Structure 1
Amino acid sequence: MTHTTTAAPLEPAKKWGAVIVLLTANFMNLIDITIVNVALPSMQSELSAAPNMIEWIVAGYTFSFALLLLPAGRMGDLFGRRRLFASGIVIFTLASLICGLAPAIDTLIAARVLQGLGAAIMTPQTLALVPALFPPEQRGSAFGLFALTAGLASVTGPILGGVLIGADIFGLTWRPIFLVNIPIGVLALIGALTLVPKAEGNRKLGIDFVGIVLAALAMLAVLVPLVEAPSLGWQLWMAPLLILALPLGWAFVRWQMYQEARSRPQLLPMRLLRTGPFLTGSLLNAVLFTAVPSYFFTIALYLQSGYGLSALDSGLTTIPFPLGVLAASAVTGWFGSRWVRWRVMGGAALLGIGFLGQGWAVWGMGEQISWLRMAPWFFLGGLGLGNTVSPLFQIALSAADSNDSGSASGAVQAIRQLGISFGIAIVGAIFFTLLGGTAAGDSETYRRAMLGAITYSSLVAGALVLSALLIPIRLQR
């Protein structure tokens, strides 16, 4: 029998204040991922960096973030989630300062790796702290707000990046995109220490060093080819690495079983891996996120390279999407923990309708982008995403008890990160294959490439609907 973490008896004002702190830190991390992409050309020009070095500004962050999510979640279980959350904010904020002051490309890359480390430490704690704040029937609202944060970050990043770089504040060009994190990080740290409840860890759980190494090697075997493929194309050495991930993953699971049989520390407790809701929620969440970030990756290229929109105009075009997620967050609060299976099915159906409608909009697009033609479908897609993500988080984390919520949160988000990397690699391959060597401004070819990317995203939404129909999706009671 699994006993989930119960909510602490906090006043509503302090409880929601703590949620705002968690969302702020989460938003700071997520927006940093999208805002950097806008600034890469400016960084390359100012720092006189080779293209392969510029790529590592993104890849360095991705690797350190993804590799450390699972062990950082477990460290929260051991040493206290508020302590880890606050530590992650400090590291992330200091790394942002170093990024903003970096005199050379190698310093910037090292600081980005450190940023990823800070993000990996604080991110699992954000979801793991929700059960400490809310009883099960109220967690839907909080998880819905996390979905809203993700939607807002995906759109706000390019907009804010375009504004900050265009403003060229004090002649700093791209540097304010990192320096803006400093006041936000300071406020988040103050909020963490004053509003987030102190949760002591359980140091008796111990540290599984072998499990950490095996998990990191398995993740690296998957991530290296997926992160490199969009820029290098698929190379011969990539397939063996992906295949190697299978025996490494098997070795990790066998090691966890070995540790469990001897009552020794486990990085990812086997009781979670044996629980249907945890596996279902985590895997469906990963499948979902193969479609959404990759969709926004290609829609930005379609709007900016195909139609000549600026990063700011491109971001404003997609604004209805986070508005849809915002509307969904209100609905998920009303649902609470009820009807999770039907909410996944309905949310995925709405998301699929949004993708198909966007395909119709792209198919009939003329020589100029019509915002009105695309806006309703962005909104429906956001409404669908918000109504899908929240119950999937609820399902996965309902399987964790008070000792394992950090580990469960880290695992859910590490698996989601793998899904994002898979999606960008797959959709990027589809998009650039259809694009061929087409120059920017060829709207017709960009239209065909975008339709290929939308087809993949629509199929994923359909697969989620079928999964909800065929698989018993439920909360762990």
Structure 2
Amino acid sequence: MSEDPSAPVNKWAAVAVLLLANFMNLIDITIVNVAMPSLQSELDAAPNLVEWIVAGYTFSFALLLLPAGRMGDLFGRRRMFLTGIAIFTLASLACGLAPGIDTLVAARVAQGVGAAIMTPQTLALVPTLFPREQRGAAFGLFALTAGLASVTGPILGGLLIGADIYGLTWRPIFLVNIPVGVGAFVAACFLVPRADGDRALGIDVVGMILAALAMLAVLVPLVEAPSIGWRTWMWPLVLAAGPLAWSFVAWQRRQAARGAPELLPLRLARSGGFLTGGLLNAVLFSAVPSYFLTIALYLQSGYGLTALQSGLATTPFPIGVLIASAMTGWFGSRWIARRVVGGALLLGLGFAGQAWAIAGMDGEIVWLRMAPWFLLGGIGLGNTVSPLYQVALSAADDNDTGSASGAVQAIRQVGIAFGVAIMGGIFFGLLGGAETGDREAYRLAMLGAIGYAGLVSAILILAPFFTPMRLADES
């Protein structure tokens, strides 16, 4: 991969631009949840259409991550990064100006397309910018961004909707992306080095179709079931997911044997580090976003906190991730397996502490009782996610980092969907038909959801003892 010789050499400034774009995407996911009641009432939309404001974004984003990562390998990662920002920003404008629910859903799908194009490039550019010993710090910052977005989204959403700027109600949650997107685009033109793609890699159209069908077969039931319940038509999709995934792998083998273009190079798919890092990353993210979804329901519906108060209650978590990002910079590429075990142990202790705090709060929410455990969990997340990214992406060479990044993040999206379905199912199953404000029912439901998060932590603690966890270039 060749870099533009005129590009600035300030790698951390370039990473700041990548993080800004990544933050814009991640916060857009969480901020929309706060606005759903306002959206439904103002647009007078049916509940199933309102759900597609989230589902449409989720599907387009998840389905295009892997192909978009490969496009970065072919056409250049900065070029694709800029393309993604432009589409996302224009789609955000369309969302903010949408006259009705149909236009808004279509614009949200377009937003997902833009996010899918730019997101794989953010991680794929890290190996281009940094030597191996500095990548841990960069990946740690991406973990920090995810933590900040999970907390900032509800806070910012609550502030913007509550302010009702110029009578626009929910629209500023999308319009706020315009100056951020324009700023990120301009900054990327000057600060992110150009990495020319290799068009000789070619485009695997059949692989794209098979991968998309396999992802749809998994995601449609997982995304729809929490809101509409499990339906008979979902079973054929679940049963078809396995054969479709097998067909995709078989096609990649055929392409590799013929020397034809591959969507996911077989060398990556056979790499133990790539599979271990990618799958454990998905397991990790099946717990964390789902936990923040359920804790928000617990605080707001169970105890009557506003979205802003709920977001502020969880702020120690991103502070913990910030502390962890400094630690990962010092660790570099050392002690990968030990850091996964240690980070997962801290994350598990954070979840256990939250369970203790929740079990002991009969009346009002006691912030000081919960805050230390949020902080500990944030430190644990930051120290777990960075080495997992390092392990997964170390298996990719210069021509494959986009494909590897897209695949890791696509697998992560499946993990998030699984987590929402499982943890949400546990939460609402235990909640039953309890009324809003039934604190005892919400407390029991939250404790049940934390049980799944604890199981995930245990898996991550034990995994390095049963599978090799080291960087691909170590021997």
When normalised by structure 1's length, the TM-score is 0.98
Q: 1:337 aligns with which of 328, 333, 337?
A: 333
1:222 and 2:218 are equivalent in the alignment: yes
1:425 and 2:428 are equivalent in the alignment: no
The letter of the residue matching 1:132 is T
Could you tell me whether the CA contact under 8 Å between 2:7 and 2:190 is conserved in 1? no
Shift, 1:15, TM fit: 1.1
Shift, 1:360, TM fit: 0.3
Residue of structure 2 in register with 1:321 after alignment: 317
User: Structure 1 386/9 Cα, relative in aligned 2: closer, same or farther at 3 Å?
Assistant: farther
1:267 and 2:267 are equivalent in the alignment: no
Residue of structure 1 in register with 2:123 after alignment: 127
1:167 and 2:163 are equivalent in the alignment: yes
1:62 and 2:67 are equivalent in the alignment: no
* In 2, Cα distance between equivalents of 1:291 and 1:327: 21
* In 1, Cα distance between equivalents of 2:8 and 2:104: 41
The letter of the residue matching 2:84 is G
The letter of the residue matching 1:36 is V
Matches within 5 A, 1:97-108: 97-108=93-104
Question: After superposition, what is the alpha-carbon deviation per residue over 1:175-226, rounded to whole angstroms, capped at 9, x for unaligned?
Answer: 0000000000000001111100001100000000000000000000000000
Residue of structure 2 in register with 1:397 after alignment: 393
Could you tell me whether the CA contact under 8 Å between 1:77 and 1:406 is conserved in 2? yes
* In 2, Cα distance between equivalents of 1:108 and 1:344: 41
Could you tell me whether the CA contact under 8 Å between 2:7 and 2:192 is conserved in 1? no
* In 1, Cα distance between equivalents of 2:314 and 2:192: 33
Residue of structure 2 in register with 1:436 after alignment: 432
* In 2, Cα distance between equivalents of 1:453 and 1:150: 21
Structure 1 segments of 4 or more deviating over 3 A? 5-13
User: Structure 1 375/217 Cα, relative in aligned 2: closer, same or farther at 3 Å?
Assistant: same
* In 2, Cα distance between equivalents of 1:393 and 1:10: 29
Shift, 1:11, TM fit: 9.3
* In 1, Cα distance between equivalents of 2:2 and 2:99: 48
Matches within 5 A, 1:254-333: 254-333=250-329
Matches within 5 A, 1:121-200: 121-200=117-196
Q: 1:357 aligns with which of 353, 360, 373?
A: 353
1:24 and 2:17 are equivalent in the alignment: no
Could you tell me whether the CA contact under 8 Å between 1:35 and 1:177 is conserved in 2? yes
* In 1, Cα distance between equivalents of 2:184 and 2:66: 23
1:454 and 2:450 are equivalent in the alignment: yes
Q: 2:40 aligns with which of 37, 44, 51?
A: 44
User: Structure 1 245/175 Cα, relative in aligned 2: closer, same or farther at 3 Å?
Assistant: same
Structure 1 residue ranges without an equivalent (≥5): none
Shift, 1:351, TM fit: 0.3
Could you tell me whether the CA contact under 8 Å between 1:6 and 1:135 is conserved in 2? no
Could you tell me whether the CA contact under 8 Å between 1:7 and 1:135 is conserved in 2? no
The letter of the residue matching 1:431 is F
The letter of the residue matching 1:396 is A
Could you tell me whether the CA contact under 8 Å between 1:286 and 1:419 is conserved in 2? yes
Question: After superposition, what is the alpha-carbon deviation per residue over 1:136-194, rounded to whole angstroms, capped at 9, x for unaligned?
Answer: 00000100000000000000000000000000000000000000000000000011111
Q: 1:211 aligns with which of 207, 210, 215?
A: 207
Question: After superposition, what is the alpha-carbon deviation per residue over 1:390-416, rounded to whole angstroms, capped at 9, x for unaligned?
Answer: 000000000000100000000000000
The letter of the residue matching 2:203 is I
The letter of the residue matching 1:273 is A
Shift, 1:8, TM fit: 9.1
Shift, 1:284, TM fit: 0.4
Residue of structure 2 in register with 1:408 after alignment: 404
Shift, 1:240, TM fit: 2.4
* In 1, Cα distance between equivalents of 2:321 and 2:6: 27
Percent of aligned pairs with the same amino acid = 74
Shift, 1:36, TM fit: 0.2
Residue of structure 2 in register with 1:375 after alignment: 371
Shift, 1:6, TM fit: 10
Shift, 1:237, TM fit: 2.1
* In 2, Cα distance between equivalents of 1:89 and 1:290: 27
Question: After superposition, what is the alpha-carbon deviation per residue over 1:300-321, rounded to whole angstroms, capped at 9, x for unaligned?
Answer: 0000000000000000000000
Could you tell me whether the CA contact under 8 Å between 2:8 and 2:190 is conserved in 1? no
Could you tell me whether the CA contact under 8 Å between 2:3 and 2:196 is conserved in 1? no
Shift, 1:13, TM fit: 6.6
Question: SS of the residue aligned with 2:287?
Answer: helix
* In 2, Cα distance between equivalents of 1:321 and 1:434: 26
Shift, 1:238, TM fit: 1.8
Shifted more, 27-36 versus 362-371: the winner is 362-371
Could you tell me whether the CA contact under 8 Å between 2:65 and 2:119 is conserved in 1? yes
Shift, 1:10, TM fit: 9.6
Count of equivalent residues = 473
Could you tell me whether the CA contact under 8 Å between 1:151 and 1:382 is conserved in 2? yes
* In 2, Cα distance between equivalents of 1:457 and 1:212: 33
1:117 and 2:113 are equivalent in the alignment: yes
Shift, 1:239, TM fit: 2.5
Could you tell me whether the CA contact under 8 Å between 1:8 and 1:134 is conserved in 2? no
Shift, 1:12, TM fit: 8.6
Question: SS of the residue aligned with 1:72?
Answer: helix
